[in-house]
Structure 1
Amino acid sequence: MEKMKLKNLFLIGMIATGLMAATPSFAGNTEGSIEGNRFLHRKEYKDMKATMSRIEKDRERIAFHKAEFKKNKDADLVIESHMSKKEFLKAKADLKRDKKYLRIDKRDLQSDQQEAIRQSNAERREVKKELRSAKKELRKDTRQGNTADLKKDAAQVEYLTLKKELKAKQSEALKDDVYAFFIYLDDEISDVV
């Protein structure tokens, strides 16, 4: 009997440890920056970084062609000033396009993360549902005095309780991580835009 309890506790401990080890560290970003965040490797974020780089280059192009236009206009070079103005307008259009792409990529990333949060909440609700049914089964076996199933049900309730707590922590950590990531991302975007 005592050996069976120790075996069940050991099994529950191993399962809980395995679940915790298998889950990524969500809110482990203590640096106060976007560095080290797990969203850095997302395609949308990489696209956003590339777009921010293009926005900076577009601004440089605008400044260059604007200066060229003024210089050519002051020198009364009609064709060169016309070409500079055309390039200046193209650069402005590119800047507008890149800003729009940046907004779209950010919105896509936000919707992906909201979907991940919804999925995490659904998994948490599913575990709570399983825990309720396991507790119901445990109460039923307790009323009937069924000792053979009682041990198995108690172990199942303990396992599901640990799993429920773990899912709740993961869900909360994911929300915190997404929130922190978008704060840093907004700062990065505001520096560029």
Structure 2
Amino acid sequence: MEKMKLRNLFAIGTMVAGLLASTPSFAGNTEGSIEGNRFLHRKEYKDMKATMSRIEKDRDRIAFHKAEYKKNKEAGLVIESHMSKKEIRKAKADLKRDKKYLRIDKCDLQSDQAVAVRQSNSDRRAAKKELQVAEKELRKDTRQGNTADLKADQALVQKLTLKKELKEKQSEALKDDVYAFFIYLDDEISEVV
């Protein structure tokens, strides 16, 4: 249990680091599709795609076994029609299970994205706070007339201002990506379910 928690925390940390490392935004993508989104290659999304494919196969199995049942019933084959009924029940149970897995995978993915967004916002607030401390130190040195530290403080304030702006852009890009990704993901799921 403890190993699983550590593994999940490590996975979330890795995900957050990866999301923050890349800044291109999906919102700028004019194609209007899920293709090209950086979440496309995530394990959860691939699991969802596999589950959607199983749902389609389950529906095909149900249709096939219903046709077999009807054909066997008309031919008067009692045992074969009974076996077809069993297969229909199994296929329906598989369909129900796969739909449940799909909902769970989507909830897990939304949860992971919410954690990433919260972490991004936390990093943005930390950068802002760090800048405020540096600006306070700059004002203090300016008031005291401490010219030796003034240049270093100005350079630090400039560096932290750029860092704060970068964190804000990354945070907004992440929010846009998550929003757009789930819009297209919902469309994909509604086509299958």
Partner Cα distance (2:148, 2:22) in 1: 34
Structure 2 residues without counterparts, runs of 5 or longer = 1-20
- Let me know the Cα RMSD of the aligned residues: 0.9
Percent identity between matched residues is: 83
Q: TM-score, normalising length from structure 2?
A: 0.87
Structure 1 residues 48-87: aligned runs within 5 Å = 48-87=48-87
TM-score, scaled to structure 1: 0.87
Q: Distance in 1 between matches of 2:71 and 2:141?
A: 91
Question: Tell me, which stretches of 5 or more residues in structure 1 are unaligned?
Answer: 1-21
Deviations 1:127-186 (A, max 9, x none): 111011001100000011111110110111111111111111110110010000000000
Separation of aligned partners in 2, 1:51 and 1:98: 6
Q: Hey, what's the Cα distance between the residues in 2 that align with 1:109 and 1:85?
A: 36
1:191 corresponds to? 191
Task: Tell me what 2:182 maps to.
Answer: 182
Larger-gyration structure (1/2): 1
Match of 2:109? 109
Matched residues, number: 172
The ranges of structure 1 where at least 4 consecutive aligned residues each deviate by more than 2 angstroms after the TM superposition are: 26-30
In structure 2, distance between residues paired with 1:50 and 1:99: 11
The amino acid across from 1:33 in the alignment is S
